[in-house]
């Protein structure tokens, strides 16, 4: 009896899993609430924020723009969520976007120039680009899991060298392209909606099934919470880590292709610039702790939407553009405070005391 | 056998020190007396209260009750820095110096400006050289600290501590990573400190060294002082019985053990020949059989955990072979050991056992799931069944299977780790201190589970510091001393006396 009661009372630990415990302890509640508040704020700034119209078989509206613009970071957030759940971080995703996009654009231009080898066909080129992303992830994974370099340093190596590799691939240029297949990934429209949205949903479903319908999700969380105990329990922690970095690399490859398709060029400098920071931020806003453990792919996506809606609101508002970054930082801070149990408890106590 | 009051007044005198943490009484009413110019060994097994006592003396912890007198004046050390200013310095096993600075810089770190107004590196070097020379250590003090051996680094730490005006110097396991020659150098430093009238408190688990260097011994056990002796007057056997909490009696077998099992019931499982890991454990042979409980006894640091780690593939053996049914097997990683049907409940439950943010259910099915692989995912229904089965069978006290395991008490967490192995149906279970830090009720339950598992046909290897416990459940006892297997006791030979004697023999 005492064994059961005392620890329960002493540390009021709240089960971090969505769907358990009292309602206000769900991280999901606060993430959704934050998104709703930002959307409402957007509506107050511009009256037609929620309106969606059909123009030339294509849905047009702020919400669609937000979804479309979120797609690259949402793709990154999938891999980043898994990496962070293992107590790692992947700083190289922006650079990997540039590498894979550069490679794809250079190859597709050879195809357009008449190269006939089978690997110079657009479909194969896309697969090769994703494979290249997986290879980058494998490199990161080996540095982290086999050579035991801290993730932040291990992935910093590729973050820095990756831009150089991308420049070498494009011979220092920012080549443009005309190939429609590659462009479709970034600017195509399917059933009235931008193609990147479908791409994101497809990857989300595949990865979700991979982690939640197999034991992989449990093993990722276990390794993230306590790698040593997991190893003692017979989990191949190294393999789990390598895999999540590979998923992250593949997600980055697809995100790079989306950006390249959008602007119809490969820019080794601009493609994916600072994308890693937005992806990490989104994952944290989505409630996955940087100290590893429980994760939610869907909440990370909501984190991206929060950031993107915020940016959209700022562009539309009359605020001077120079203030954008500061306002973004303040709102992100507010969102994180809203999610913090500690902060809410203190706030509640403060309100009680004054009343 | 307490020591008569020495003629001189005590240098450091602690009376009735008491300190408790949330769940445990770490020190209760402990007296401790240190004279100037003596080496006083502070001995006891894990959890005896040695480090708590040190931390109270150096101001890391605030005591709940008791007084500390230094030179007859009551002191109230608020933090380690304050304790140092009062004259109590401590040097720990992990050296608290900066490896990339020079020896001289380390000795004077944080004190240079006040002495010279400006940084005077040459004076600092000269003084450092003199300080070390006083101990007959002649080294280049301008070289990086990390370029020297651990022994020299240790001595630099001591010199730094002593130069900080020490009256009392505490050495916590200073020799555990030193070789014989380095220990000699360290001991000569300790001897010259004695001559200066400094009182030295020495914590070590090497009993030979205790007898070589110390003048007096205080033994702690379960937070209480159990004895204070002149080293020369304390037989080794008596010391070990005090440390392990065992009153010596004349009869050899103090307990009448009715052993239900007979030789014929045992069934060979694992045979280990000449397993060793350099510097950790010398070559040993070991046979483990189904239906049999083998106890692993020895003092802290004698190599008990090392044996568990070698068998489970956590530490790779660099010599020897292991066989099952005459076939050689590979034990180079936990995964491979698990594939052979091994399971290990590690000593440090929190760091190596439980996955604290995961639920009881997930913790229980983890090893089985790892064994099955990623794609053979146990259905949620099956997971719940397995977890509930174990919660009932081992009487794990938890609100439900979905509660995070961090919310359970220590005893129940231990049961969860046991359950983790039981669902994967192992042939051999290695339990490293399964009852440490567990309340009395759960303690008895764990022991009855251990016995039941052997009856059901598991091979069991159990490490414990509790002699009574080992004698109670073991069919065979392997005794370790100084990283070496010294003997195996069987049947009627198994008694607390015999174990203590085997540990004490030299």
Greatest mean pLDDT among A121-135, B159-173, B259-273 lies in A121-135
Q: B315 is written with which tokens? A: 């530490």
**CB of B444 within 8 Å of any CB in chain A?**
no
pLDDT at B1 over 70: no
Enclosing domain of residue A245? 71-298
> Cβ B367–A222 below 8 Å, yes or no?
no
Query: How high is the pLDDT of residue A108?
Result: 94
Chain B CB contacts of A228 under 8 Å are 351-352
* Nearest residue on chain A to B351, alpha-carbon basis: A229
Its sign, for the CA torsion B191, B193, B198, B202, is negative
In a domain, A122, yes or no: yes
In a domain, A209, yes or no: yes
Chain A CB contacts of B22 under 8 Å are 10
The three-state secondary structure class of B447 is helix
Q: Are B53 and B4 in contact (CB under 8 A)?
A: no
List, for residues B147-180, the tens digit of each pLDDT value.
Answer: 887 778 888 888 888 776 689 999 988 876 677 7
List, for residues B144-156, the tens digit of each pLDDT value.
Answer: 888 887 778 888 8
A275: number of Cβ within 10 Å:
24
> Cβ A3–B335 below 8 Å, yes or no?
no
**Nearest partner of B418 among B441, B450, B461, judged by Cα:** B450
- Kindly state the average pLDDT of the residues B3-31: 79
pLDDT at A25 over 70: no
List B residues 20-79 in contact with A (Cβ-Cβ < 8 A).
22
Of A7, A20, A222, the CB nearest to B407: A7
How many angstroms separate the CA of residue B361 from the nearest CA in chain A? 11
β-bridge pairing B39-43 and B88-91: unpaired
> Cβ A221–B358 below 8 Å, yes or no?
yes
Q: B106 or B345: which carries more pLDDT confidence?
A: B345
Task: Look at the block and give the residue holding tokens 């370790």.
Answer: B480
Of A214, A215, A222, the CB nearest to B355: A222
Of B375, B412, B420, the CB nearest to A233: B420
The three-state secondary structure class of B156 is helix
B456 vs A16: CA distance, rounded Å: 38
pLDDT at B3 over 60: no
How many angstroms separate the CA of residue B447 from the nearest CA in chain A? 18
B439: number of Cβ within 10 Å:
15
- DSSP conformation letters of B276-302: EETTTEEEEEEEEEET-EEEEE--TTS
**Nearest partner of A270 among A249, A256, A281, A280, judged by Cα:** A256
Q: Are A107 and A124 in contact (CB under 8 A)?
A: no
- C-alpha torsion angle, residues A16, A20, A21, A22 (rounded to 10): 110
Q: How far is CA A23 from the centre of its chain?
A: 26
List B residues 374-433 in contact with A (Cβ-Cβ < 8 A).
374-378, 397-399, 402-404, 406-409, 411-412, 420
- Kindly state the average pLDDT of the residues B118-136: 81
Chain A CB contacts of B367 under 8 Å are 233-234
How many angstroms separate the CA of residue A3 from the nearest CA in chain B? 6
> Cβ A222–B358 below 8 Å, yes or no?
yes
E-only strand ranges, B240-364: 267-277, 281-290, 293-297, 319-324, 327-329, 342-345
> Cβ B355–A20 below 8 Å, yes or no?
no
E-only strand ranges, A155-236: 189-190, 193-194
- Residues in contact with A13: Cβ distance below 8 Å, sequence separation at least 6, in sequence order: B404, B406, B407
Largest CA distance in chain B: 81
**Architecture per CATH, B269-341+428-437+457-506:** 3-Layer(aba) Sandwich (3.40)
Of A225, A231, A236, the CB nearest to B358: A225
Chain B CB contacts of A207 under 8 Å are none
B491 DSSP 8-state letter: G
Chain A CB contacts of B408 under 8 Å are 3, 7
> Cβ B370–A233 below 8 Å, yes or no?
yes
CATH number listed for the domain at residues B12-96+145-234: 3.40.50.300
**Nearest partner of B429 among B445, B451, B404, B413, judged by Cα:** B451
pLDDT at A17 over 70: no
Q: Which residues pair with B273 in a beta bridge?
A: B321
Give chain A's mean pLDDT.
87
B347 vs B308: CA distance, rounded Å: 10
> Cβ B366–A16 below 8 Å, yes or no?
no
Chain B CB contacts of A6 under 8 Å are 409
List, for residues B326-374, the tens digit of each pLDDT value.
Answer: 899 999 999 999 999 999 999 888 889 999 889 999 999 999 999 998 8
List, for residues B199-250, the tens digit of each pLDDT value.
Answer: 999 998 778 889 999 999 999 988 889 999 999 998 888 888 888 776 655 4
Q: Are B207 and B231 in contact (CB under 8 A)?
A: no
Of B352, B376, B408, the CB nearest to A229: B352
**Nearest partner of A287 among A277, A279, A296, judged by Cα:** A296
Residues forming CATH 3.40.50.300 domain(s) in chain B:
12-96+145-234, 269-341+428-437+457-506
Of A221, A228, A234, the CB nearest to B351: A228
- Kindly state the average pLDDT of the residues A8-13: 34
Chain A CB contacts of B439 under 8 Å are 3
- Residues in contact with B20: Cβ distance below 8 Å, sequence separation at least 6, in sequence order: B26, B27, B28, B64
Query: How high is the pLDDT of residue B7?
Result: 59
**CB of B341 within 8 Å of any CB in chain A?**
no
- Kindly state the average pLDDT of the residues B59-68: 90
> Cβ A216–B374 below 8 Å, yes or no?
yes
Tell me phi and psi for residue B370, to 5 degrees.
Answer: -60, -35
> Cβ A214–B375 below 8 Å, yes or no?
yes
- Kindly state the average pLDDT of the residues A209-229: 94
Query: How high is the pLDDT of residue A2?
Result: 34
Distances (CA, A) of B291 to A50, B12, B89, B404, B449: 72, 53, 52, 34, 13
In a domain, A243, yes or no: yes
The tally of domains found in chain A comes to 1
Identify the residue among A217, A234, A295 best suited for mutation to test binding to B, counting B beta carbons within 10 A and taking the highest. A234
- Kindly state the average pLDDT of the residues A232-258: 96
Instruction: Label residue B262 by pLDDT band (50, 70, 90).
Output: low
- For chains A and B, CB pairs below 8 A equal 102
In a domain, A63, yes or no: no
Q: A156 or A355: which carries more pLDDT confidence?
A: A156
Query: How high is the pLDDT of residue B22?
Result: 66
pTM: 0.73
pLDDT at B60 over 60: yes
Q: Are A144 and A245 in contact (CB under 8 A)?
A: yes
How many angstroms separate the CA of residue B85 from the nearest CA in chain A? 38
B245 DSSP 8-state letter: T
> Cβ B334–A219 below 8 Å, yes or no?
no
List, for residues B408-464, the tens digit of each pLDDT value.
Answer: 877 889 999 999 999 999 999 999 988 876 766 677 788 889 999 999 999 999 998
Its sign, for the CA torsion B200, B201, B203, B209, is positive
Task: Look at the block and give the residue holding tokens 């809203």.
Answer: A338
> Cβ B366–A294 below 8 Å, yes or no?
no
Of B369, B407, B411, the CB nearest to A218: B369
Chain A CB contacts of B334 under 8 Å are 231-234
Q: A177 or B242: which carries more pLDDT confidence?
A: A177
Q: Are B459 and B292 in contact (CB under 8 A)?
A: yes
Q: Which residues pair with B32 in a beta bridge?
A: B14
> Cβ B353–A229 below 8 Å, yes or no?
yes
């Amino acid at each position: 009896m005492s064994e059961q009661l005392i620890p329960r009372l002493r540390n009021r630990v709240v089960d971090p899993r969505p769907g358990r415990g009292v309602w206000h302890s769900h991280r999901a509640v606060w993430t959704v609430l934050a998104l709703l508040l930002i959307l409402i704020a957007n509506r107050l700034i511009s009256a037609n924020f929620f309106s969606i119209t059909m123009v030339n078989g294509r849905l047009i509206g702020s919400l669609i723009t937000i979804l479309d613009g979120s797609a690259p970071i949402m793709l990154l957030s999938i891999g980043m969520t898994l990496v962070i759940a293992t107590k790692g971080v992947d700083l190289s995703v922006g650079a990997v976007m540039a590498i894979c996009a550069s490679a794809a654009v250079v190859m597709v231009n050879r195809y357009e120039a008449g190269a006939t080898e089978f690997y110079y066909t657009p479909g194969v080129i896309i697969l090769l680009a994703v494979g290249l992303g997986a290879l980058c992830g494998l490199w990161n994974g080996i540095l982290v899991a086999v050579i035991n370099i801290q993730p932040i340093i291990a992935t910093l190596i590729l973050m820095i060298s990756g831009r150089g590799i991308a420049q070498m691939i494009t011979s220092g240029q920012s080549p443009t392209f005309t190939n429609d297949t590659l462009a479709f990934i970034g600017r195509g429209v399917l059933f009235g909606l931008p193609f990147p949205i479908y791409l994101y949903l497809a990857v989300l479903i595949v990865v979700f099934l991979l982690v939640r319908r197999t034991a992989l999700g449990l093993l990722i969380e276990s390794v993230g919470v306590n790698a040593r105990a997991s190893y003692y329990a017979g989990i191949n922690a190294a393999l789990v880590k390598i895999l999540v970095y590979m998923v992250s690399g593949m997600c980055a490859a697809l995100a790079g292709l989306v950006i390249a398709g959008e602007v119809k060029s490969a820019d080794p400098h601009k493609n994916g610039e600072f994308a890693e920071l937005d992806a990490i931020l989104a994952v944290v806003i989505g409630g996955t702790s940087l100290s590893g453990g429980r994760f939610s792919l869907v909440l990370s996506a909501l984190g991206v939407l929060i950031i993107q809606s915020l940016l959209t609101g700022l562009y539309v508002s009359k605020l001077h553009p120079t203030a954008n970054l500061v306002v973004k930082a303040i709102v992100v801070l507010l969102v994180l405070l809203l999610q913090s149990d500690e902060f809410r408890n203190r706030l509640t106590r403060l309100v009680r005391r004054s009343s | 056998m307490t020591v008569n009051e020495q003629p001189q007044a005590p240098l450091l005198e602690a009376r009735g020190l008491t300190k408790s943490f949330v769940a445990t009484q770490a020190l209760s009413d402990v007296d401790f007396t240190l004279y100037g110019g003596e080496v006083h060994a502070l001995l006891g097994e894990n959890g005896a209260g040695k480090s708590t006592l040190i931390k109270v003396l150096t101001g890391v912890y605030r005591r709940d009750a008791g007084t500390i007198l230094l030179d007859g004046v009551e002191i109230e050390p608020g933090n380690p820095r304050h304790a140092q200013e009062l004259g109590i310095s401590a040097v720990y096993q992990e050296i608290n110096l900066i490896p990339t600075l020079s020896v001289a810089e380390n000795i004077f770190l944080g004190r240079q400006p006040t002495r010279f107004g400006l940084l005077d590196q040459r004076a600092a070097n000269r003084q450092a050289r003199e300080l070390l020379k006083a101990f007959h250590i002649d080294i280049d003090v301008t070289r990086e600290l990390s370029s020297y051996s651990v022994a020299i680094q240790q001595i630099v730490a001591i010199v730094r501590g002593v130069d900080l005006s020490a009256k009392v110097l505490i050495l916590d396991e200073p020799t555990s990573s030193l070789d014989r020659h380095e220990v000699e150098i360290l001991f000569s430093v300790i001897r010259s400190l004695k001559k200066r009238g400094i009182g030295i408190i020495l914590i070590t688990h090497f009993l030979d060294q205790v007898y070589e260097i110390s003048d007096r011994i205080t033994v702690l056990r379960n937070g209480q002082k159990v004895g204070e002796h002149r080293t020369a007057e304390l037989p080794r056997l008596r010391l070990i019985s005090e440390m392990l909490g065992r009153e010596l009696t004349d009869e050899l077998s103090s307990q009448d053990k009715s052993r239900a099992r007979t030789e014929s019931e045992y069934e060979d499982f694992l045979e280990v020949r000449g397993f060793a890991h350099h510097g950790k454990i010398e070559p040993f042979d070991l046979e483990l059989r189904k239906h049999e409980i083998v106890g692993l006894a020895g003092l802290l640091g004698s190599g008990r955990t090392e044996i568990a780690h070698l068998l489970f593939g956590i530490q790779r053996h660099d010599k020897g072979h292991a066989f099952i049914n005459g076939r050689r097997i590979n034990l180079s990683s936990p995964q491979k050991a698990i594939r052979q049907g091994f399971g290990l409940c590690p000593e440090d439950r929190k760091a190596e056992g439980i996955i604290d943010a995961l639920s009881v259910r997930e913790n229980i099915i983890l090893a089985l799931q790892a064994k099955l692989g990623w794609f053979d995912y146990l259905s949620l229904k099956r997971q719940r069944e397995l977890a509930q089965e174990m919660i009932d069978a081992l009487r794990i006290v938890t609100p439900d299977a979905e509660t995070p395991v961090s919310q359970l008490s220590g005893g129940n967490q231990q049961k969860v780790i046991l359950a983790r192995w039981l669902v994967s149906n192992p042939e051999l279970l290695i339990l490293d201190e399964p009852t440490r830090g567990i309340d009395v009720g759960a303690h008895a339950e764990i022991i009855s589970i251990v016995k039941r598992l052997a009856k059901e046909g598991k091979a069991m290897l159990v490490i414990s510091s509790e002699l009574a416990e080992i004698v109670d459940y073991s069919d065979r006892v392997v005794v370790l001393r100084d990283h070496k297997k010294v003997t195996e006791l069987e049947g009627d030979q198994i008694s607390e006396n015999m174990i203590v004697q085997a540990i004490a023999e030299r």
